[in-house]
Amino acid sequence: MKKQIIPVLILVFTFILTQASCIGTDFLKYQNKNAETPEAAAPQAADTDIPLIKEDNIYYNVSPAEYYYYSLLDEKYRKMYEAVLSGLMLEKKKIRINVTDKGTINKLINMVINDHPELFYIDYEGKYLYSYTIYDGYVILEPYYRYTGKKRMKKQNKIEKAAADIVLDISALPTEYDKVKAVFEYIIDSTKYKSNVPDSQDIYSVLVNKKSVCAGYARTAQYLLQQLGIETIYVEGTVYGRGKHSWNIVKCDGKYYQLDVTFGDMEIQGMSDSDLPGGMQYCYSYLCCTDKQMYKDRKANKIAKLPKCSSNDLDYYVLNDIYFKRYSDKVIKSMKKSIRRKEKYWCCRFKTKEGYNKCLKKVSDGIYGTKVMEYMNRRRAIETWYIYDDDRYTISCWYNKG
């Protein structure tokens, strides 16, 4: 933090990402028994028709027809996907699929898990989802369940109750973008980012425990948005210099957009609520953005081809007319307009580094504080703050209104 004395008092917070330890999502390790004796009694193949399952008066429609990774598969592998999903929903101890290639087995189960955040009871915590035994022409999967039976149902009831209230409120919003934004803000508002807590890799951690890491954030966003009828993809990858990370891609009004709820939390960025004015606890640079914006600091794992996110029409800064191609009088007019409206803060984003650097220089020299003083007709210095992001070319300013 740096202090400068100019016509106003400016305190500068540098916008730095903290290391996300969400980074415990390496859950596709496996144990291969490589059985050589098919004489052992082979379990019966799992049904490939996906049933409507009834347990303790709770119904699950597990049809995967609208799920992204499932949609990429041909008919042969869809049957295998369905067998795995059905077996997991029924908590089967052994699931047969007609494939023996290790890479295909791992990829297939990865797709099932990434499509279905409701499978919270699979053993993420131990970092193993399953073991398997290879026979002649098929494999027997043995899933690892963290919760089963009544214990699973008890947790599932809590999840469904919490989600029902949220979905009911958000479903009344008029557009898909409004719903995505509301889910983004709800998770940030209600969840404390904390590693080494129970269930941190799944939806229970956010919806019930209210403490989680990136996998929990991303799976919960997917779970809620799926219930709102919005296609949502769970993405795993790596943030450069920080490690493994999880986020989402959403399909909104027919187009795909990047979404990272974890990095959308300003607290994760090293800013506490007490440092910020109301409404600034969200980093909207990670809401419905493009691949170009998102992949500045990360790369996605290549388990399947992901859709392109090239449209910025739902970018928060574009929607609010605070996205600028270059630094000009329009930037100052936007700043002055915000001050006249007595808004809690002003922010902007630039298309180019050149425009961003020019504006950042003006802000660091005190232009925002000067405009605040002009509007308030004050001569004494006012405390003024700003934060900036060199990767995404954003600047945010606010002042002490006391």
- The DSSP secondary structure of 124-174, one letter per residue, reads TTTTEEEEEEE-SS-EEEEE-BSS-HHHHHHHHHHHHHHHHHHHHHHHTSS
Which of 122, 148, 174 is the C-terminal boundary of a domain?
A: 148
Domain-ending residue, one of 148, 163, 192: 148
Domain tally for the chain?
2
Tell me: pLDDT of 153 over 50. yes
pLDDT digits (tens, 9 = 90+) for 80-113: 999 999 999 999 999 999 998 988 998 999 999 9
102 located within any domain: yes
Mean pLDDT, residues 285-297? 96
pLDDT per residue over 325-369, tens digit each? Answer: 999 999 999 999 999 999 989 999 999 999 999 999 999 999 999
Find the helix or strand (DSSP H, E) in which 287 lies.
strand 287-289
Q: Which one-letter DSSP state was computed for residue 68?
A: H
Q: What is the pLDDT of residue 58?
A: 38
Domain boundary among 93, 113, 148: 148
Name the pairing type of β-strands 139-143 and 95-97: antiparallel
Is 349 within a domain? yes
Neighbours of 302 (CB within 10 A): 8
Residue 155, in any domain of the structure: no
Does some domain include residue 244? no
Give the Cα separation of 219 and 187 in Å (integer): 11
What is the C-alpha to C-alpha distance for residues 261 and 30, in angstroms, rounded to an integer?
29
* pLDDT for residue 34 is more than 90: no
Q: How many of the other CB atoms lie within 10 Å of CB of 323?
A: 17
Lowest average pLDDT, out of 125-139, 197-211, 310-324, goes to: 125-139
pLDDT confidence of residue 273:
62
Tokens for 20? 């996300």
Whether the predicted pLDDT of 29 surpasses 60: no
Q: Tell me which residue range forms the domain holding 348.
A: 321-402
- Domain assignment present for 126: yes
Is 39 inside a domain boundary? Answer: yes
Return d(Cα 214, Cα 262) in angstroms, integer.
6
Domain-located, residue 130: yes
Question: Which pLDDT score is estimated for 280?
Answer: 85
Helices (H) and strands (E) in the chain, counts: 12, 19
Q: What stretches of 301-357 adopt beta strand conformation (E)?
A: 323-324, 346-350
* Average pLDDT of the chain to the nearest whole number: 83
